[in-house]
Chain A
Amino acid sequence: MTQLWDFAGGIHPAEHKHQSTGRPIRQAGLPERLVLPLQQHIGAPAEAIVAEGERVLKGQRIAEVTNGMGVPVHAPTSGTIESIARLPVPHPSGMDDWCITLIPDGEDQWCQRHPIADYRKLERDEVLDTIRTAGISGMGGAGFPTNIKLRPPKDRKVSTLILNGAECEPYITADDMTMRERSDEIISGLKIMAWILRPERCVIAIEDNKPEAAAAMKKAAEGTQIEVVVVPTKYPSGGEKQLIRILTGMEVPSGGIPADIGVMCQNVGTAIAVARAILEGEPLITRVVTITGEAVAEPGNFDALLGTPIHYLLSQAGLQEAQLHRLVLGGPMMGYTLNTPDIPVVKTSNCVIAATAQELPDPEPEQACIRCGQCAEACPMELLPQQLFWYAKAGEFEKAEHLNLFDCIECGACSYVCPSSIPLVQYYRYAKGEIRVQRAEQLKADRARERFEARQARLDREQQEKELRRKERAKAAAEAQAKKKAEAEQAAAKGEAVDEKAAKAALVQEALARKKARTSAESNAQPVSTENAAPDIPALEKQLTQAKSKLETMQSMLEDAKAQQADNVDKLERAVAKNHERVKRAEEALAEASAETTPATQSTE
């Protein structure tokens, strides 16, 4: 006997499974039109690759994902594309999304199929690619693309492959009936997946309330390494995390995936889809759906083409419309209500419950929480549901998160047992949603702040650089000025020293020179060379022209800025004023210098 572990909490809701296991799986047949949502998987939505009015063959790819993760959609039968439009799709919000509508022509004419006789001869990646091309995504509920799941990260070796046939939710019998009737196909699919993953252990887990299914699977698995393990019936044993705990005693780390601990779970329906894709070359175009509830006269399972409207299946199961009170897609624990039976079956639709008012009555009004703790006893994740409820209601999301709100799998066990009829799961969904919104906003705010700070830093840096350049220029100018002054003083001092020693001689000489000069000026009228007395005048002139040209560019910049109403007008104005001064100073310096040189020239001559 295989060793089994127990998981915490759990409940035993009334099973209601017998009503839909009495009849074999029925072929649903061809409805008038098929509606195929472009997004039936987790990831990027597929894009239509057919046009309205185009004739397509059964199994022909009609939508493909070109960017990002996702799988294609195929025509479930041959016919004409009627429209590509937004229509109601299976979603808790009752929203519309892009769908391809196909009018079957009744011929059910297949496109070219490419069965693989011996997949073992192929590369694993080729087989995975065939699985992707066949449009297979997990059929248990989430709809994760199977080819991606079957290729876990390189550092994660899958040592245990689990085929999840627990089907722990009440009412649903799709996997049960599939295992009873199609066990060989399941084993074939499982073998392909095992060949891809090469696990050490391959287990099919079935709850002990499905003895027929377990017997069929055991028979089909005879002579293989595959173990068929019967696990005790307790909701939610079919939850991935719970089933892994039951079978291995290990726990999937919070926030991680089963592959982190070397485990992978696959669904029964997915195994069949893989088998058909590889061995028959058939893409995923049908699935088994349980149609049950007290409002249908002949509950049972239907092999339905994807895109079949739910109302078509309901009428086949003998819907008594007057009795219908609530229409649930999925199980009574985790499914969601539909506001119209007009939506199509998709890859993840496993069950439709047409319930009467007595069967699933409207909930009692919510009472105060008395902290009785029944929820904590029922919680399979070992959370504190009442505390989470308290914090969710009070808007203290930080505390709710601290108590591991995001580990909640929304199985509904807590709400099921709550004596005060508190819709606990709804509170958790609300809190999770609010936290996600807050996180998104926080991220947005962070990015905006980063952008702002980066811009501010850039502006500051530019300003500093400008300032530095300005200072350098000012320093250079000051140095030049100081040098010039010093030279002038030196020259003056030299002159004085000479004068003192030979003041009289000089005076005499001066007088003589004046006389000479007068005469020479009169006779030659030649311009007087000033070179040796004032060598800085050309430099000053150069400075002046530079300053003037700078002033001009500044002024033109200022005008531009004014015209554009830029915010640096003030700065430019100040800069222009400064340059004005600079020009003035340069002019004065030049004037001074030339004034000084004139008498010197006279004295030297």
Chain B
Amino acid sequence: MALAQQSSPHARKARSTSRLMLWVILAAVPGLLAQTIFFGWGNLINVVWCIVIALAAEAAMLSIRKKPLAFFLKDNTAAVTGLLLGLSLPQFVPLWVSAIAVISAIVMAKQLYGGLGSNPFNPAMVGYALVLISFPVAMTTNWAQPGLLWESAPGFGETLNLLASGQQTVVDGYSMATPLDEYKHKIATHTAAEVLEHPTFGEGIARGWEWVNAAFLLGGLILIGLKIITWHIPVSMLAAIAVMSLAFGNNPDQYAPVSLHMLAGGTMLGAFFIATDPVSAATSHQGKLIYGAAIGILIYVIRSWGNYPDAVAFSVLLMNFAVPFIDHYTPPRTYGHHKARRGVPGKTQG
């Protein structure tokens, strides 16, 4: 009788990494749906395209690194990276630009650092930042004009055609500046009321964007409910943006109002789906609060006083740098200890 010899615990009931990632993908569906409804087929096509490229790039790198393909591909993490890029890139960004973003995310930011779990930077945001700097025209002029899917915007076939273009600027007629961009550049010379007349803002806060952000918020709450992410990073990040906005930018004739900061741009996607990437985020609760708040502050600073209308990617990447530092100084207090042992061995308190 050959009895199995195992180390305890013998019972396990874990949700596998691939299941967790699948939940992340599913939780992003409402946001993708809202994007499609208000901004046309662009995001959907890009999401599918990015996931395909991500899986292909991952497979290629795994085979070069002589790793078992099926075992790693089924963890769904490459798919999530593709998904996040597809969700965050402008709707009409040409497919070759998104391909470069995805490939640099998977190859450079993830696999060259040692693959899953070893990347210090959020892969999707590395890809995003890379194409934003390399192809500024493609990344700023291709935001779709908001409108209901069935009323306006190019149809599926036409969108696909446009995206296949080799140019950086795909189309003029269907694109429009994003609300954050519009506000940032017009407010210097106009009053808030004049700025808000622009059709990108619509009737509410930011046409389409408000629904997209609400849908990502919903997805994020689902992830928290399922205990796939904790509340610390999104809450501290959103709170930091709100506090910054109320403290420094409470004059709408000078700065975008807090409602715009919260519900336009990539705020909710960033707060719940991007900043919460566990691999590149801080680990302890306290660390997560600091990490999230710092991202929120950076987003507000770059949006208000920097060159870019939105800043999720840069803020997340900048804070990725700080994660090891934050982790060193924010361990939890262990049971039976008076206080947490901060810092590195040898130079400690407590």
Chain A residues close to B by CB (< 8 Å)? 7-8, 13-14, 170, 241, 245, 251-256, 321, 324-328, 330, 332-340, 353, 355, 357, 360, 362-365, 367-374, 376-377, 380-384, 386-387, 398-399, 401-404, 407, 410, 412, 415-421, 423, 425-426, 429
Contact = CB atoms under 8 A, between A and B. Distances in A.
20 contacts: A251-B335, A254-B336, A256-B336, A324-B3, A325-B3, A332-B10, A333-B9, A333-B11, A371-B117, A372-B228, A374-B227, A376-B332, A380-B335, A402-B345, A402-B348, A412-B9, A416-B13, A416-B14, A421-B16, A425-B7
B10 A360 contact: yes
A368 B76 CA distance: 13
Contacts of B279: 370-371
A363 B20 contact: no
Contact of B284 (A335, A360, A384): A384
A362 B227 CA distance: 26
A70 B9 CA distance: 30
Contacts of B30: none
Interface of B: 1, 3-17, 19-20, 71, 75, 77, 115-118, 227-228, 230, 278-279, 281, 283-284, 327, 331-337, 341, 344-345, 348
A344 B179 CA distance: 75
6 closest cross-chain pairs (CB), A and B? A412-B9, A368-B117, A254-B336, A332-B11, A402-B345, A326-B4
Contact of A337 (B4, B11, B331, B345): B4
Nearest to A402: B345
A419 B13 contact: no
Contacts of A377: 227, 230
A368 B336 contact: no
B148 to A, nearest CB: 38
A407 B8 contact: no
B16 A253 contact: no
A256 B15 CA distance: 36
Main secondary structure of the interface of A (DSSP, over half): loop
B78 to A, nearest CB: 13
Given A254-B337, A382-B335, A404-B337, A423 B7 contact: yes
Nearest to B3: A327
Contacts of A386: 283
B8 A335 contact: yes
A404 B10 contact: no
B10 A337 contact: yes
Contacts of B7: 336, 423, 425-426, 429
Contacts of A336: 7-8
Contacts of B11: 13-14, 170, 332-333, 360, 416
A326 B10 contact: yes
A412 B19 CA distance: 21
Contact of A376 (B13, B15, B284, B345): B284
Given A254-B336, A418-B14, A420-B17, A368 B9 contact: no
A381 B337 CA distance: 10
A562 B327 CA distance: 67
Contacts of B227: 374, 377
Contacts of B77: 370
Given A362-B6, A404-B337, A419 B12 contact: no
B31 to A, nearest CB: 21
A328 B4 CA distance: 9
A401 B8 contact: no
Given A8-B335, A368-B117, 4 more contacts: A13-B13, A332-B8, A376-B283, A412-B8
Contacts of A429: 7
Contact of A371 (B278, B345, B348): B278
Contacts of B348: 402
Contact of A415 (B1, B12, B116, B278): B12
Contacts of B9: 332-334, 412, 415-416, 425
Given A402-B341, A419-B15, A371 B4 contact: no
Contacts of B71: 365, 367
Contact of A338 (B3, B8, B12): B3
Contacts of A383: 332, 334
B345 A362 contact: no
Contacts of B281: 371
Nearest to A414: B9
Contacts of A252: 335-336
A367 B75 contact: yes
A392 to B, nearest CB: 13
B4 A370 contact: no
A369 B117 contact: yes
Contact of A326 (B6, B116, B336): B6
Contacts of B228: 372
Contacts of B334: 254, 381-383, 404, 407
Contacts of A8: 335
Nearest to A397: B345
Contacts of A410: 8
B3 A337 contact: yes
- Counting chain A CB atoms within 10 Å of each CB, the highest count among B16, B332, B335 belongs to B335
A401 B10 CA distance: 26
Contacts of B14: 374, 416-419, 421
Contacts of A407: 334-337
Contacts of B115: 368
Contacts of A419: 14-17, 19-20
A246 to B, nearest CB: 12
